[in-house]
Structure 1
Amino acid sequence: MGPADTTPAPTAAQVRRTATLTVALLAGVWVIDYIDRVMMAVALPFIGEEFALSKTEQGWLITVFSLAYMLCQVPGGILADRYGARRLLLISLVLWSVFTAFTGLAWGLVSLLVVRALFGIGQGLFPGASFKALAERTTPAVRATAAGSILASNQLGAGVAPLIVAPLLLAFGWRHTFWVTAVAGVLIGVLLWKMLPRALPAHLNGTDEDPGQNPGRRPALGPVLRSASVWKFAALFCATNMLGYGMITWVPSYLMEERGISLVGVGVMSAVPSLVMCATTFAGGWLFDRWFHDRARLFVIPLLLATAVLLWLMLQAETAVGFTVYQTLALGVAGLSSMGILGMPVRALPPAVIGSGMSVVNVGGQIAGVLAPVLMGHLVDTFSYTAAFGLLIATTILGALIAFAVPQRQDQFTIAPSGGKEPA
């Protein structure tokens, strides 16, 4: 036997401080993550004009990123579970910052596609490491709320991105704008490496196993991949994430081309819905934890159906302001549902495999990132923006239908032992 561990157990205040600092740091990185993503959507009209790209080709610039990002989800989760979160977080940040800078050096469609795919690989390593870092530094009782805070930061990034990117595009052009944000990514990576606190002891973060079930063994990836519940949530995340990817990619172009709004005006009008969604995502996490954690369908389905109605009203709006008002309401209601969709797997997955498990769920969401930009671009080229946004109504309703099949309680969402079958 080795020497006994004499490290004193952390106090309740230290546990809270560890969770708070971890969430703040990860949320900051997610904000930079989404600024880097949304920047391409805001810059699309300028890039498309410089290289004479069709809407379908512009959509492929978003889709190729999403495809690479999706394919790296499970490998990133496995690496985080095997080697720890801190190192992978830094590697991911540095990689995506480098390829953000390279975007500004592109000379045509092919070079843009290659660089954006490499950018997707860099960012694709981040979610699994992020969820792993969160699981290691929070207690199970607050984990869903903590995850809700991080998810809310996604929308904060999507909201502030147009406000930051639009003036930069006007002042420096699209190439230099990518270089500026690349530097910001490197700086926050260094900050994360220096300030991320140590993981909590296993008995506090929940990585201690039930001694009555396979003592001494850690859950493997195989049971996660065989879990029907994991894949149901992946399908739900795919259907509902079409809305976010579709709005981020095509609303700026729509407002400029169809409504005649200036670039700065587009920045403001694109920011408001995402900032509202940021607030409602956080509120949805709190509501879900407090009242609906064992009644996910009751929480999610009415919200998704209400979102679909608001999207239909958005398409009927006669003015750009009316369009933005209904878009804001739709995304605000959709934000409330986010933690009903992701809160259950965050709470129920064993922390030892939460990196790989949430990566599988996130693959579903990123399939939406692959499909939405290019499908909507094709619909715009072939029919109209109305047809493209109509696709989002259909996928939101599909999400409500899938929600009937997802587990509502933690005891229905079980990771079977290796070699076994998940309970029905």
Structure 2
Amino acid sequence: MADVVAAPRTVSRQDEKDDQLRTLGLISVAHWVSHFHIFALPMLFPFLKQQLNVGYVELGLALTVFAASSGITQAPIGYLADHLGARKILLMGLCLGGGALIALGLHLSYSWLIGCAALLGLANSVYHPANYAILSDHMNEARMGRAFSIHTFAGFLGGAVAPAVIAGLLATTGGHGALIAAGAVGPLVALLIALVGIPDASAAKKSTCDVDAPKQSVITPALAMLTIFFLLLSLSNAGISNFGVVALMSGYGATLSGANLALTAYLGASAVGVLAGGLLADHTERHGQVAAACFAVNAAILLVVAAIGLPQLLLTGAMGLAGFLSGVIAPSRDMMVRDAAPAGAAGRAFGIVSTGFNIGGIVSPLLFGWVMDRNMPHWVFGGSVVFMVLTVLLALATERSPQSKAAAA
């Protein structure tokens, strides 16, 4: 009996693999929700503009509030994820984001739109620190790039299906119903995660291991440069994602369905590109050069889109190719952050660099909203080209050789 009681519980490799797959699956579903919620408001811009009788700058301000709220809270949420547990922070974010959209659907006004955007921003600040802290702790090291790519793919997929899903909800339930239904997804997924269960990030284990370790700042030069890199990535994509449909309709004569198809191709191909990028991230250290190459080609493609009114088939194909290349860099981008993060600080590191996304989110809605209100839809794509060129230059300037990386380590 004593031997039975004292015998340690053994975990088979299959059990460990199943636990990893379950964790990756549920974390990826949560990331799907985060991107779906990000695109819920922009996809309802025509409805909100008509109902609230406001311009695109006022609607863009809501996205700026979203980004500001997320940006201010991103690093603190990363600290909480590292010290209080990433799992409970994730569940709270899912419920808060869903509740904000439901509240807006029940009481539609401009002031509530701004309040909803602020709460959505706070909820959005949860996903990157919490998700990446859990994945970094529990995924197989040799397949970390692919795990990150699946996680990112799920997020991109959430954004890719948002135009079609929101359009379907708008047609069947109206704008109010679309907001309520989109919001309800968050608490439902939180309930699923709570019932099925996922492991937490090992905050207690990290604290124990770090007792004798020298203290080091989380904000390193490498993470500072990555924050700027994330800022440029955000500015490169935000105009297309948030104002691409209205720009194509007003500046290129595209129909609503045609413009939505082009944007869906861009976002959907981005998700596919992420999976290809995951394989690449596990087999190369030249992440900066991969980014530079992809965005250089992207800039050329979008320059053609900006300058020429392409027929629908070519437009959809060009947007799809641009989206694919945009997705390829995402897993390498995440691996760069993980490699640069101090030990036990993955949540804070991802929280810090993700602030670059949020700064871009603060600037881009006002910038591209101003562009649209000045009736310059071609510059939605032209501006994206400018930011992509800057992204290429930064990626090349900050790329280090494998030898220098080894020496720095």
Q: Normalising by structure 2, report the TM-score.
A: 0.90
Residue 338 of structure 2 contacts residue 346 of structure 2 at CA under 8 Å; is this kept in 1?
Answer: yes
Q: Aligned residue for 2:326?
A: 334
Residue 41 of structure 1 contacts residue 252 of structure 1 at CA under 8 Å; is this kept in 2?
Answer: no
Q: Aligned residue for 2:117?
A: 116
Residue 233 of structure 1 contacts residue 342 of structure 1 at CA under 8 Å; is this kept in 2?
Answer: no
Q: Aligned residue for 2:35?
A: 34
Measure how far apart 1:169 and its partner are: 0.7
Residue 135 of structure 1 contacts residue 351 of structure 1 at CA under 8 Å; is this kept in 2?
Answer: no
- Comparing 9-18 and 30-39, the one that deviates more: 9-18
Distance 2:213 2:6 in 1: 22
Measure how far apart 1:410 and its partner are: 7.9
Secondary structure of 1:95 counterpart: helix
Q: Aligned residue for 1:419?
A: none
Bigger fraction of residues in helix = 2
Measure how far apart 1:403 and its partner are: 0.9
Distance 1:411 1:229 in 2: 17
Q: Normalising by structure 1, report the TM-score.
A: 0.87
Report the identity percentage.
Answer: 21
Secondary structure of 1:223 counterpart: coil
The CA deviation string for residues 323-374 of structure 1, in whole angstroms up to 9 with x for no partner, is 3322221121121122232222224524511000111111112211111121
The CA deviation string for residues 272-319 of structure 1, in whole angstroms up to 9 with x for no partner, is 2211110111111211211x2x22233221111111101101113324
Secondary structure of 1:104 counterpart: helix
Does structure 1 residue 148 correspond to structure 2 residue 149?
yes
Secondary structure of 2:153 counterpart: helix
Distance 1:5 1:313 in 2: 70
Q: Which amino acid aligns with 2:319?
A: Q
Secondary structure of 1:404 counterpart: helix
Q: Aligned residue for 1:296?
A: 287
Cα gap change, 1:259/1:311 in structure 2, threshold over 3 Å: closer, same or farther? closer
Secondary structure of 2:134 counterpart: helix
Does structure 1 residue 269 correspond to structure 2 residue 270?
no
Residue 247 of structure 2 contacts residue 377 of structure 2 at CA under 8 Å; is this kept in 1?
Answer: yes
Measure how far apart 1:208 and its partner are: 10
Residue pairs, 1:393-408, within 5 angstroms: 393-408=385-400
Distance 1:135 1:307 in 2: 30
The CA deviation string for residues 19-42 of structure 1, in whole angstroms up to 9 with x for no partner, is 221111111111121111112111
The CA deviation string for residues 51-75 of structure 1, in whole angstroms up to 9 with x for no partner, is 2222211211211111111111101
RMSD: 2.8
Distance 1:217 1:243 in 2: 43
Can you give the 5+ residue segments of structure 2 that lack an aligned partner in the other structure? none
Residue 277 of structure 1 contacts residue 331 of structure 1 at CA under 8 Å; is this kept in 2?
Answer: yes
Q: Which amino acid aligns with 2:306?
A: L
- Comparing 231-240 and 381-390, the one that deviates more: 381-390
Distance 1:413 1:59 in 2: 41
Distance 1:215 1:65 in 2: 35
Distance 1:327 1:218 in 2: 49
Measure how far apart 1:244 and its partner are: 2.5
Aligned residue pairs total 403
Does structure 1 residue 78 correspond to structure 2 residue 70?
no
